[in-house]
Amino acid sequence: MHDSVLVSPSILSADMAHLADDLDKIAGADYIHIDVMDGHFTKNLTFGAGIVGACKRSTDVPLDVHMMVTNPDDTVDWYIDAGADLITIHFEASTHLHGTLKHIQSRGVKAGVVLNPATPVSLLENIIEDVDAVLLMSVNPGFGGQSFIEGTFAKIRELRALCERHGVSPLIEVDGGVSRKNVEAVCAAGANMVVAGSAVFGADDPASEIDVIRELGTRGLASARG
């Protein structure tokens, strides 16, 4: 188990015209979340390897690259070369999930798998021992600012139980609609890493908001340990 909750602000909610300035505002984050969308897997087109590289040059915070693309098996090396520190790929999109995860790890990058809201946790049974992280989507992927899907709480608890049965402790990351209002409950269910986009960048003081989210999440995590 991790001692404190990791906060990964999503630059999907940043001001892209002043990205370097916005990255400075979140220099106290644990990761920076970069949503790569190809306009096919999602109904939105966002960032490519060039933005990942620009972030790498502009900040020392590790980069958490979430690949929402139809061909992650073919394109992960673009993002590794650009400087990703953690890459998560969708179970629903990867034809050769085990091989791709192992390839990412062989290049010195942490590798994780993502589940959409309707994808059951049970599908991870045969891969859970090979991942550094599992990202549970708590909104349908594609756009920021969506409301948290309440059924995610049960999925987090199920995932935590699966990890305990296998004796592994990957990062359990939750993405979508997480804010100071619900992060304590999210982490009490078993998450130890949260993505927060609009909650951070929409705050008057993003740095302070990260601290609040981390503190509340860590309180929830502590309660999960009993």
Query: Catalytic annotation on 74?
Result: no
* Max CA separation in the chain (angstroms): 46
Query: Tokens 């979430």 map to which residue?
Result: 66
Which of 38, 64, 132, 175 is an active site residue?
175
Which of 22, 30, 35, 132 is an active site residue?
35
Query: Catalytic annotation on 35?
Result: yes
Contact between 220 and 14 (Cβ < 8 Å): no
Q: Which of 121, 120, 100 is nearest to 111 (CA)?
A: 100
Catalytic positions, written as ranges: 35, 175
